[in-house]
Amino acid sequence: MLNTTKSLGHSPAAHELGRAIVKAAPTDASVLLVGESGTGKEVVARAIHERSNRKDAPFVAVNCGAITPSLAESELFGHEKGSFTGASMTTAGCFERSHLGTLFLDEVTEMPLSMQVQLLRVLENGTYHRVGGTEELKVDVRIIAATNRDPKEAVESGRFRSDLLYRLAVFPIRVPPLRERKADISYLAQRFLDELNEQENTKKRFAPQSIARLESSSWPGNVRELKNTVTRAFILSEDEVDIAAPGAPAISAPEVQQGVLKIAVGTPLTEAQRAIIMATLDHFSGDKRRTALALGISPKTLYNRLEEFRKHGYVGA
Ligand SMILES: Nc1ncnc2c1ncn2[C@@H]1O[C@H](COP(=O)(O)OP(=O)(O)OP(=O)(O)O)[C@@H](O)[C@H]1O
Ligand SMILES: [Mg+2]
């Protein structure tokens, strides 16, 4: 959790981001966070909530990409017991759960189109009712949305409604990738190490050259990848946390050659699984349904795996 916006980092880009947070926080304006995966969009969303006068009310995060069109309405507005098969009890939707607080719509451009219509309607009307219900409920929720796509492109390709984008992007904030704020790398790395030392009750330090190596990397997975790298090195080290030199000898990474995936003996299972999933997804041009079918897993399992990969800083997942 960010107590002060200073802790975002020391780079000019981090300062600018901090200023945007301070400006946006006390208003009720809808904020749209745009930035690559792992840049800290959720961290920023929480920082805005924490600095707003809604801070004592709930912050509710919803992953819009994981909601199927058929469940969208119930997800947003909740439902009354018995309103559809499987609705065994009255359940609050995310608007009700975040009442008086902040609703964080993550991966907003992945929201099914039918859900976009429902969202737009509730934002315009200011009221809604649970599925199968008649009681009129009032919306008093601050919306923060996030996406790692270019929202204009999402509109142009017909995936996202322009009228909804205007509603959500009253206060747009770009969350810059780590490669544009290299000055933050050493600061964040040291902070992650301090946190690990505190958790584990250790006093490990970085080996010489480690920070320089971290700074020379391009970090396609951004802060999440940096954090994972420091954590892995911490676990593997005794007193000195050593970050391997780029290109250090290692088991060669899986690669696709003429439709065949080569995986070296000794490849960690998690890595092999990731390689198979990503190669298959690539083979089917990103079609998740066909990929899941070919791999013999449900689309839901595939989605969960991709989400895990993303969380671990792999791009393209
Ligand atoms: N300024 C920061 N200080 C400390 N930790 C940070 C900072 N920015 C990001 N992180 C950490 O990096 C990880 C990724 O951050 P976050 O989940 O907010 O990214 P994201 O932009 O929402 O990514 P995605 O688009 O993949 O959901 C988290 O573990 C978060 O705690
Ligand atoms: Mg996120």
Is pTM, for the whole model, over 0.85?
no
CATH number (1.10.8.60, 3.40.50.11140, 1.10.10.10, 3.10.20.30) of 182-241 reads 1.10.8.60
Average pLDDT score over residue span 49-67: 95
Would the pLDDT of 166 be above 80? yes
> Which residue spans of the chain are classified as CATH 3.40.50.300?
5-176
Q: Which ligand is in closest contact with the Cα of 40?
A: 1
- d(Cα 10, Cα 96) in Å, to the nearest integer? 38
> Which residue spans of the chain are classified as CATH 1.10.10.60?
255-311
In this prediction, residue 1 carries a pLDDT of 44
* Binding pocket residue ranges, ligand 1, CB within 6 Å: 8-9, 35, 37-43, 148, 188, 223-224, 227, 310
Triad 263, 242, 317: Cα angle to 5°: 40
Please give the distance, rounded to the nearest whole angstrom, from the Cα atom of residue 134 to the centre of ligand 2.
34
Nearest CA to ligand 1 atom 9: 40
> Which residue spans of the chain are classified as CATH 1.10.8.60?
182-241
Closest atom, ligand 1, to C-alpha of 2: 3
Helix or strand (DSSP H, E) at 254: none
Q: Which ligand is in closest contact with the Cα of 33?
A: 1
Nearest CA to ligand 1 atom 31: 43
In this prediction, residue 309 carries a pLDDT of 83
**CATH, domain range 5-176:** 3.40.50.300
> Ligand 1: which of 223, 226, 309 to mutate, judged by most atoms within 8 Å of the beta carbon?
223
In this prediction, residue 50 carries a pLDDT of 97
Question: Considering only the top CATH level, what class is 255-311?
Answer: mainly alpha
